Amino acid sequence: MLLAALAAAALGAEGIAAKLAYAGGANILTTLSLRFLLAAVMFWVSIVIFPVQWRLDRPTLVRLVALALGGQATTVLLLFYAFQHIPAAVAILFFYIYPAVVILLAALFLHEPLTRAKVGALALTFIGLLIILGFPMGSLDIRGIAAALLAALGNGVYLIGQNNLLKRLEPRTFNTWATTAIAPAFFLMALTSGNFSLAFNNQALLAILILALICTVLAYTAVAWGLRYIGASRLAIISTLEPAITTVLGFLVLGERLHPYQLLGGVLILVGVTWQQIRS
């Protein structure tokens, strides 16, 4: 549970660091390219210093690369596409349907029990998300809604596939190959679209380093080990802490407004997470 909460906290800093990178002159594809390149280098260095079995047979490698590109990389792109067409808070709200996707897929494919505790906790945490992020108001672009929902589905599939592969792979091995597959994919997209540029300031550089070290290496490591200990469905419920953490960090770092009702939403998420843990 602590590892899952640590992953949520690390990923909660993602939106803040991304905003700082963009404000410093870095564009989206350049930021993603450098983020995953630096993360891949850090994972390979860790394997050199603390050796593990990193060689994979061809079927496993193909499956891992397909999961990384079709799951994680596609999820990130869909979510950023959603941000372009609907408000970020609304996109995140639709995206966080993915814990429900994970719970259903885990029950179907991983034989994780679908308990009342999980369903109740999921309901509480989603109500908390509604309070923190606000109810969608006005007309919304269907393209943004579709992209956010597809991102939720992609992230759910990625977590289930990752959980399955981690039964046979050491977490660092999985994350090393996953980031190694994702980095060149984003580089190729940036280069072919003419969006790769190193014309950014030190603030953007620091933000990209935070994205690589905290939001990728630390977060992905905590997610992988968390999956091993508590399974996909329970980890997905605990991950709903992430928007609450992002809201608090936005207040502390960027000076964004923090309304009292958002604190209530955070409390509901904490209650839901704690309740499902105690019942489990």
Boundaries of domain holding 214: 2-279
Domain count of the fold of the chain: 1
**pLDDT (tens digit, 9 = 90+) per residue, 236-255?**
888 888 777 777 777 777 77
Among 247, 238, 279, 239, which residue's Cα sits nearest to residue 265?
247
Mean pLDDT value across residues 107-116: 81
Whether 280 shows a pLDDT value over 70: the answer reads no
pLDDT in tens, 39-95: 999 999 999 999 999 999 999 999 999 999 999 999 988 887 887 777 666 777 778
The pLDDT tens digits of the residues spanning 198-249 come to 999 999 999 999 999 999 999 999 999 999 998 888 888 888 887 777 777 7
- pLDDT band, very low/low/confident/very high, at 100 (cuts 50, 70, 90): confident
Compare 2 and 97 and report the one with higher pLDDT: 2
Task: Answer for the pair 204, 17: CB distance below 8 angstroms, yes or no.
Answer: no
pLDDT reading at 256 higher than 70: no
What token pair was written down for 268? Answer: 């509901």
Q: Name residues whose C-beta falls within 8 Å of residue 52's C-beta, 6 or more positions apart in sequence.
A: 170, 172, 173
Instruction: Give 160's DSSP letter.
Output: H
pLDDT at res. 176: 97
